[in-house]
Amino acid sequence: DSGVTQTPKHLITATGQRVTLRCSPRSGDLSVYWYQQSLDQGLQFLIQYYNGEERAKGNILERFSAQQFPDLHSELNLSSLELGDSALYFCASSRMVGDRSEAFFGQGTRLTVV
């Protein structure tokens, strides 16, 4: 168990709909990252938050948005869903431990758009 919790694990929804994916980072981790992984593809970086503020943005569509709340959990909102949005969405969190850094992943949310 990495300590990063993602819900739901699986999600099936129709085109045009909107969904929210949730991520609870490990206790004490300030950074949260979102990644999209389509079948047989690498990890596409979407967005990073650090202590509530957006820190970096990757290839995130305008239909997608995210935020990190004061308790440090994060949500990724996907709207106007298309078939091509079907993918595994990962959340990761990281921290500095003394002079070391470590990053762990949640189990992912498998989104299927039908």
Partner 1 sequence: AQTVTQSQPEMSVQEAETVTLSCTYDTSENNYYLFWYKQPPSRQMILVIRQEAYKQQNATENRFSVNFQKAAKSFSLKISDSQLGDTAMYFCAFLLSGSRLTFGEGTQLTVNP
Contact residues toward partner 1 (CB under 8 A) are 2, 31, 33, 35, 37, 42-43, 45, 48, 50, 55-56, 58, 88, 90, 92, 94, 96, 99-105, 107-108
Cβ distance to partner 1 smaller for residue 1 or 14: 1
CB 80 to partner 1: min, Å = 26
Cβ distance to partner 1 smaller for residue 43 or 79: 43
The DSSP code sequence of 43-108 is PEEEEEEETTEEEEE-S--TTEEEEE-TTS-EEEEE-S--GGG-EEEEEEEEEEETTEEEEEE---
